[in-house]
A and B are shown apart, each in its own frame.
Chain A
Amino acid sequence: MPHDGHDHTDPPDDLTLRVKALESLLVEKGLVDTAALDVVIETYEHKVGPQNGAKVVARAWVNPEFMALIKEDCSAVIDQEFGYKGRQGEHIMAVENTPDVHNVVVCTLCSCYPWTVLGLPPVWYKSAPYRSKVVQDPRGALAEFGTTVADDKEIRVWDSTSEMRYLVIPERPAGTEGWSEDQLRALVTRNSMIGVEEAKSPETVL
């Protein structure tokens, strides 16, 4: 859906009116607290996002023990280490990319996604084209992101059908030996943690 480029003189569209009408009805009935709505929006628009996941990945890259722990029970460990917990992040498992295996995550039935580490999912993740294609033709789907996975690499597709959430740990880029967690974090993109792209190469941030 294109970004709303309307100027302020345009009349509100049907959806805007429908949602405003619903909100005012619910407020009038005493079923929602307007200030609570603002808390929800503020949380997911500004506080929770892929910057959280990037910290987890950077730590996993420098700390093999941490990597082992998050592959078992990511949610417990990142709550303890970073305080990341909450809705749509109750049960997270990390899946690690290696020279032999590339992981990619989808929710074919709706839009399940690890909110506590990645925020809300992008439009394409929730869309019919991605959800339908990536389970049957992962190489074709990844090619639409400009990503090529070697033919001899196994692509594992994780369909998030339960309340388990999957976080991809991309491969650590070559040429980053000795980098700190803070430096490494800049290489970790949201898309690399869904598994549709690789982490950035070091040249892109130097």
Chain B
Amino acid sequence: MNGPHDLGGQHGLGPINPESEAEEPVFHGDWERRTFALTLTCGMLGQWNIDEGRYARERQHPVDYLSNTYYENWLAGLETLLVEKGLVTAEELLTGVAEGKAEGYRVPDVDATRKILASGGPTRIQSDLKPSFSAGDKVRVINQNPLTHTRAPRYTRNHTGTIEFGHGVHVFADANAQGRHEGVHLYAVRFEADELWGEEAAGGPVYVDLWEPHLEPV
């Protein structure tokens, strides 16, 4: 979707203003800690995948997305998913009072949580699928405006780049956000600065990971 999260190349968002590396804490307040941990542990219930999680955050109203702090966006996304997936009702979320126990979920305990954190969730898939492109091929990013989640940033649309290398077959994020687990080839694509930003471009090349359905041959 053409959402507020798709920020590459936007102007006027202010200075970066980094905190000093030596002084920045991991979390700025206990509510951030709890929001982070709740998001991960609820994710471990297996009711949604990482791309559905991202989509839940980015389809907030753009004014909310951009004025929220980072973990406020996580919290909003978590609340959305809990209700949409039927783990809690909107009424329960509003009142904070449980209408009953949730049944039928496998809730990870301490050991299971440690194991899940340590094993992660690989997205590379062993596959015989042949890649359509190879290093050095020129490709153009398709012009698309889906209302659903896509990992092809707006600033790459309709632009031509060069395949730098293939990453093999990975779960296609755009489909995964809609609950379809499909493996397609993923590539690192190099875009020259003037191709993306025009002749006045002051930057350097940008490398973007794109899946085969995002690309067409040139």
Taking beta carbons and an 8 Å cutoff, which residues of A are in contact with B? 1-4, 15-16, 18-26, 28-33, 35-41, 43-45, 49, 85-91, 106, 108-111, 116, 119-120, 122-124, 126-133, 135-141, 144-145, 154-164, 189-191, 196
Contacts and interface: CB of A to CB of B under 8 A. Distances in A.
Nearest to B167: A164
Complex A-B, nearest 9 residue pairs according to Cβ-Cβ distance, in ascending order: A108-B8, A162-B209, A155-B204, A21-B96, A37-B37, A40-B37, A124-B18, A132-B10, A28-B98
B203 A155 contact: yes
Among A15, A43, A111, the one with the most B-chain Cβ atoms within 10 Å of its Cβ is: A15
B41 A23 contact: no
A110 B28 contact: no
B92 to A, nearest CB: 6
Contacts of B108: 33, 36
Given A28-B98, A155-B203, A4 B5 contact: no
Nearest to A36: B113
23 contacts: A16-B31, A19-B31, A22-B96, A30-B105, A33-B107, A40-B117, A85-B119, A86-B119, A87-B40, A91-B122, A109-B153, A119-B26, A126-B70, A132-B10, A135-B8, A138-B203, A139-B202, A144-B16, A155-B204, A157-B206, A163-B122, A163-B123, A191-B18
A158 B164 CA distance: 12
B205 A41 contact: no
A157 B119 contact: no
B159 interface: no
